Amino acid sequence: MAPHICSIVPPYLLNSIATNDQNDESHRLSAQHCLHHCESVNTKRSDRLAALALPRAVRAAHPIANKQSIVPEVLLQHIADSEGVDEETRARAAHDCEHIRQKTSAYKASLSGETPATDQHTLAYTAAKDAKDGFYRAVYDARHDADESDLPGSVVRVEGQQAVKDTAANEAFDNVGKVLDFYLQKFQWRSIDNNNMHVISSVHFGKDYENAFWDPDRMQMVFGDGHDFLYKFTACIDVIGHELTHAVTEHTSPLEYQGQPGALNEHISDVFGIMVKQMAEDETADKADWLIGEGCLLPDVKGVALRNMKNPGTAYDDPRFGKDPQPATMAGYKKTVQDNGGVHLYSGIPNRAFCLASLGFGGYSWEKAGQIWWKAMNSGQVPPKCTFVQFADVTTEVAEELYGEEAAKIVRAAWTEVGVVRKTYA
């Protein structure tokens, strides 16, 4: 079975649209197209996560695990030469571009013969990290091309440039910046990799493509325009927070994209997606709606969002979509071969636990609950095949370490409420 793409719209929803007789043929075919694309792209993601789960000594030599995304030299030169970019950013890009060239020349001089392309790529990435004071954002136009080998497309807006006429490009550029600012301000994490990795996005992917995703092979964000049911992916900051967090997870505790660890992988993305949304809207845990993808449903859809973290299973109930199938507790957990063992389906269980913990602490979700989840992911105690119970134990231990016994009780109570408890034997 091919795994599903790590995307904001869950495959069970796409499958429901694709198989529902109440939808006309064009709508079903559109959903089927998205599903097929999910399967092909996320195979690459599973390979990457598997490589990241290898022992460190083995992983160091693995080409997939070491793949990094850099702003190509041509883009740095574009920024440096563009009249629409502010002077400070132009100067920095010119400096970084020259730095990469100098490093490359020095490396070539130290070798006899042609330098391997992979070594040049690694060198350029290292040089870029050494040179820059911050990350560069760039948004491209995929021009409705669904061939990923053609990504990123044509450059539309780059770091230091004012807003352009393309609304989706501006939304992607601005919201990516807000998400990365959130990580820096609240968790002292610099860009995706904690080393100011450059962030590339492509808008207008495919024709009427109703999804948004982090492409693990191209190492970039990709946004469709939507069509009959789903749209406005670039406008939803929680969508962007969710997808970029999948990349962050690779640099903290990579979780296997299967079964419970896969559901935790999706859960972590929802956690950080909802926190950045709550920060953008200045909402405390008790005032927030806890809805993921709230702005993605077209007005005539009977629903409020793609997922409801506070009350899983209640996000939508539409004749064309079906009913939101997420269970809220382990009482609804059943092993399945669909959706990589239910990675999107069962993420609602830990999602509700995080919501309950945040409500138990009060205030903003990132002040205590978010800090606990973040430290847990950086603790080295979350294995690639982590179960819900293991993750509950780690977050409870971290809560006590950070905030004391009462905090640990709040976190443990949240997990108990959703049925994530260790078996006891008389």
Annotate 165-200 with b (16+ C-beta within 10 A) or e (fewer): ebebbbbbbbbbeebbebbbebbebebbbbebbbbb
With a pLDDT cut of 70, the percent of the chain lying above it is 75
- Tokens 């490093």 belong to residue: 103
Task: Look up residue 27 and give its two tokens.
Answer: 């709508």
Catalytic site positions? 243, 344
CATH of domain 254-417: 1.10.390.10
Annotate 201-226 with b (16+ C-beta within 10 A) or e (fewer): bbbbbbebbbbbbbbbbbbbbbbbbb
Compute CA distances 4 → 38, 53, 202, whole Å. 5, 19, 20
Angle at 325 between CA 265 and CA 266, to 5 degrees: 10
Q: How far is Cα 158 from Cα 369, in angstroms, rounded to an integer?
A: 35
Query: Interhelix angle for 369-377 vs 348-361, to 10°?
Result: 130
Q: Which of 241, 242, 192 is nearest to 219 (CA)?
A: 192
Q: Does domain 73-250 have CATH number 3.10.170.10?
A: yes
Cβ count within 10 A of residue 64: 16
Residues 6+ away with beta carbon under 8 Å from 418: 328, 329, 330, 349, 350, 352, 353, 356
Q: What is the pLDDT along the chain (426 residues), one digit of tens a residue?
A: 333 345 666 667 767 777 777 777 766 666 666 666 665 555 555 566 656 665 554 444 454 544 444 445 666 677 778 878 888 888 877 877 776 677 656 655 654 455 454 444 454 445 445 545 678 899 999 999 988 889 999 999 999 999 999 999 999 999 999 999 999 999 999 999 998 888 999 999 998 887 888 888 788 999 999 876 677 889 999 999 999 999 999 999 999 989 999 999 999 999 999 999 999 999 999 999 999 998 888 778 889 999 999 999 999 998 877 899 999 999 999 999 888 899 999 999 999 999 999 999 999 999 999 999 999 999 999 999 999 999 999 999 999 999 999 999 999 999 999 999 987 655
Task: Look up residue 208 and give its two tokens.
Answer: 């009427």
Handedness of CA 91, 96, 98, 102 (dihedral sign): positive
Q: How far is Cα 145 from Cα 222, in angstroms, rounded to an integer?
A: 11
Q: Where are the alpha helices (DSSP H) in 53-86?
A: 56-59, 73-81
Cβ count within 10 A of residue 92: 22
238-280 tens-digit pLDDT: 999 999 999 999 999 999 989 999 999 999 999 999 999 999 9
Residues of the chain with CATH 3.10.170.10: 73-250
Q: Are 317 and 250 in contact (CB under 8 A)?
A: no
Entry pTM: 0.81
Compute CA distances 101 → 87, 108, 119, whole Å. 21, 10, 14
Residues of the chain with CATH 1.10.390.10: 254-417
- Burial of 95 from C-beta contacts in 10 A (0-12 / 13-18 / 19+): middle
Q: How many CA atoms lie within 13 A of 337 on its CB side?
A: 2
DSSP one-letter code for 154? E
Residues 6+ away with beta carbon under 8 Å from 165: none
